Chain A
Amino acid sequence: MSLTFTLDGKTVPFTEGQTILQAASAAGVFIPHLCYHPEFKPHGSCKLCTVKVNGRQTASCTMRAAPGMDVESETEEINAERRALTQMLFVEGNHFCPSCEKSGNCQLQATAYHLGMMSPHFDHFFPNRAVDASHPDVLLDFNRCILCSLCVRASRDVDGKNVFALSGRGIKTHLIVNAKSGRLADTDFALTDKAAQVCPVGVILQKRKGFAVPIGERKYDQAPISETVTEGK
């Protein structure tokens, strides 16, 4: 007998061990997310993928699907909460889309569009975050970091390098690199690393490659994020 659960009234099949988010993606149903990436162990921190399972809210990227689950995702209530989380991420860092090289390729920006975010709503924190331009090939702009830890996981689990980690606590949580100097140039980070490819926002940027694709022709300019996400893409 095949395993299924209900997602917004629709029957979704799943295999043993799949999470709700994985099963939904495989079925072509989009659930907003930022810290989740199909190639890495789920982290469950951004909380954008929160759904209601049998009336209780939980992160769909870490919750295993179970037969007969009644899952709500695309409701006005949940999307309003997701919108507020997105606004929180915008005010927590320094995000200036019009001048950002990642504009149009940025998952945070695309998610904000998807959720109909019209303003940051909350007062900006305007944190003081230095950039790290020490590396010959890569610029780190920490102003845009949303602490998803994808680079941490990619460097640790794929590259075997542990170039990145989160340090600090609470609102002072921040990304660090594996060097006594604290500079990326003094690590063994390379442009070919998996960790260089996974940033959903504009922290890890290749140098001398700015605006190779014009704004207007970029990934999420072509199609909204909800139409681009299927499992493995």
Chain B
Amino acid sequence: MALNEMHAEAVAGVVDRVVARYRRDPSCMVQILREVQEACDWISPEAIDRLQATLGVPRTKIEGVAGFYSFFYLQPRGKYRVLFSDNITDRMLGNQALIERLCNSLWVEPGKVSEDGLVTVDTTSCTGLCDQGPALLVNNRAIGRLTSDRIDQIAELIRGKVPVAEWPAEFFAIDDNIRRSDILLASELQPGDALRAARARAPSDGLMASNMRSWREGLPTGLGGPAALLDEIKRANLRGRGGAGFTTGLKWEACRNAPLKAGAQRIVVCNADEGEPGTFKDRVLLTRQADLVFEGMTAAAYAVGATRGFLYLRGEYRYLLDHLNGVLARRRAENLLGADILGIPGADFDIEIHLGAGAYVCGEESALIESLEGKRGTPRNRPPFPVTNGYLDQPTIVNNVETFAAAALIALNGGDWYAAIGTKHSAGTKLLSVSGDCARPGIYEYPFGVSVRQVLEDCGARDTQAVQVSGPSGICVAPAEFDRVIGFEDIPTAGAFTVFDTSRDMFEVARNYVHFFQHESCGFCTPCRVGTSLLKNLMDKLHNGCGSPYDFAEIEKLNQLLQAMSHCGLGHTACNPVLDTIAKFRPAYEQRMMQQDFTPAFDLDRALAEARQMTGRDDAAAHLSTEHGGAA
């Protein structure tokens, strides 16, 4: 019998323990499923039986949620679940050969459970270790800097059934690779100082914040702090660091002014679902500056009058959980979280950490809130927006990790200080996650306004052909544009900065990104669900050497449709990498064209590949000669 068969009673015991810890609250479904799976290796029908009984929710809801997230398994998987990060940077560092090596060594096919139930080897979207790839996750623990030797060691440990917890610690060492520090990364903030500064600050004349409500409705007046802090955030001209660049002060003010229903509270959510391929700065901020982030969240709670906070941490960063919970515990002990923070009566706020489970779309704020509520991570219909109707229909702000860290410094030093850094339209600094073809990949913190050329020089990039800024949903910058600058007025970015030298095939870069979007589309709306698959098929058609100008027109049409009809940003941006690379690197596409007009996608010989595999044949007689089938 497979190793991951547990007795029904044992499964029930696990489920009961987990469900009790989450107070039988179905809105914690994603967390409950995660913990059940961590104990049982998969979410078996028996586990769902027990969840249904103890949570009182229908089986369809449990299976619907579990089926949405890549890291939840409704079918038995191996005792060891190896997921190779499959970002373009991992590919450039040779992950394909390493996957093959591990599969051969363990006698397992990618995506399938080994016959003894011991192991599965599969791929996953970017795991945020692009500066130290190729990378993989084994049972949610991250391993970077893979080499053939390391792969052989891993195969040996799996064959020997050594528990992952007993694997050599150096396997799991993650480097911060901080190459350039500025105000955020160099901050030596003493926990509590920013909050004390915010409280002490009296509202200035010409107050920009529109009201004087303090932490919680009904508090005695005379506390100028919350309104004054909001004022400083506005003065700082702080804009969201998640990529969209919404003005933070406006968001906070809208939440603060949103009416509260009886029994409701305001919510602060930190979006640490850093899923954009090529981005890893939040990982480093949370590793090195967790206090700064939590202090920023607490300051935000102070400004908007929130009493409950969440950090939504991507599942790929599971290994940061103990560290982050430790920081939260210390802050509670120091009275920086909990009841009457810093002795301010009624100043109650605490933060809990929720983990994602492998769904990029949950980085979209309303999808993130759905996931926090224990549902499928489908973006909501808007309006209404989260600032009025967010978590459990309560006023909610969702901000990026870096935004909160910046907010803490603004609380400490004031808005004018912050606004003086960077450019006129882009105040402050930006963390760039630099990876790809350069000598010094890692984290670079620059004041806004730095040129692409400067970053390339600093990171030791040579013969650069292109830089993908802000990941697949961002833009592809060609050498003629290297004097453009990072900032909301020119190239806005969530922080990914992926470098490609002249040896790289930009078509394959775009194809990797298209596969990413297809994998991560939530499937809610027709244009994105079907359109990303059609786009993937078109790119694979070109890859297979069957491309034609007709296909360019098809891509252009799909782009228009996805832009116009998609439900959220994922669909809107899914064609970007293709359109950008067609515009700027057309020869990479043209060399794949077999005919001038039209070539069908169907290739008879390719269609027989499965039959060849089943019969174990690959000789000449098992192939058909075709007019156009190019090399795969």
Q: Which residue of chain A lies nearest to B59 when distances are taken between CB atoms in the complex?
A: A178
Tell me which of A1-9, A83-91, A213-221 binds B: A83-91
- Bound together, the chains give a CA A122 to CA B530 distance in angstroms of 10
Q: Which residue of chain B lies nearest to A181 when distances are taken between CB atoms in the complex?
A: B45
Partner of A180, one of B59, B519, B522, B533: B59
A176 within 8 A of B: yes
8 A Cβ contacts from A40-91 to B:
42, 44-48, 50, 57, 59, 62, 64, 81, 84-85, 88-89, 91
Q: Which residues of B contact A163 (CB under 8 A)?
A: 60
Q: Is the CB of B525 within 8 A of A168?
A: no
Q: What is the 8 Å Cβ interface bit string for chain B, positions 544-566, against chain A (1 contact, 0 not)? A: 00000000000001001100111
8 A Cβ contacts from B31-61 to A:
45, 48-49, 58-61
Q: Which residues of A contact B359 (CB under 8 A)?
A: 169
Q: Which residues of A contact B561 (CB under 8 A)?
A: 81, 84-85
A170 within 8 A of B: yes
- Bound together, the chains give a CA A113 to CA B527 distance in angstroms of 20
Q: Is the CB of B376 within 8 A of A170?
A: no
Partner of B527, one of A42, A88, A178: A88
B158 within 8 A of A: no
Partner of B60, one of A42, A125, A178: A178
Q: Which residues of B contact A177 (CB under 8 A)?
A: 60
Min CB distance B367 to A, Å, is: 11
- Bound together, the chains give a CA A179 to CA B45 distance in angstroms of 10
- Bound together, the chains give a CA A146 to CA B525 distance in angstroms of 10
Q: Which residue of chain B lies nearest to A84 when distances are taken between CB atoms in the complex?
A: B561
Known: A162-B60, A171-B518, A176-B64. Is A46-B381 also a contact (CB below 8 A)?
Answer: no
B73 within 8 A of A: no
| Chain B contact residue count (CB 8 A cutoff) | 44
| Chain A contact residue count (CB 8 A cutoff) | 40
- Bound together, the chains give a CA A179 to CA B48 distance in angstroms of 11
Q: Is the CB of A62 within 8 A of B68?
A: no
Q: Which residues of B contact A167 (CB under 8 A)?
A: 60, 63-64, 66-68
A166 within 8 A of B: yes
Q: Which secondary structure dominates chain B's binding surface?
A: helix
Known: A81-B561, A167-B67. Is A179-B59 also a contact (CB below 8 A)?
Answer: yes
- Bound together, the chains give a CA A170 to CA B383 distance in angstroms of 24
Q: Which residue of chain A lies nearest to B517 when distances are taken between CB atoms in the complex?
A: A170
Min CB distance A225 to B, Å, is: 18
B529 within 8 A of A: yes
Partner of B518, one of A62, A88, A123, A170: A170
A142 within 8 A of B: no
- Bound together, the chains give a CA A84 to CA B535 distance in angstroms of 14
Q: Is the CB of B527 within 8 A of A47?
A: yes
Chain A interface (Cβ within 8 Å of chain B)?
42, 44-48, 50, 57, 59, 62, 64, 81, 84-85, 88-89, 91-92, 122-123, 125, 146-147, 162-173, 176-180
**Could you list 29 examples of A-B contacts with CB < 8 Å?**
A45-B525, A45-B526, A46-B526, A47-B567, A50-B565, A57-B565, A64-B383, A88-B530, A89-B526, A92-B530, A123-B601, A146-B526, A147-B523, A162-B58, A164-B60, A165-B58, A165-B61, A167-B63, A167-B64, A167-B67, A169-B521, A170-B519, A170-B529, A171-B518, A171-B521, A171-B523, A171-B530, A176-B64, A180-B45
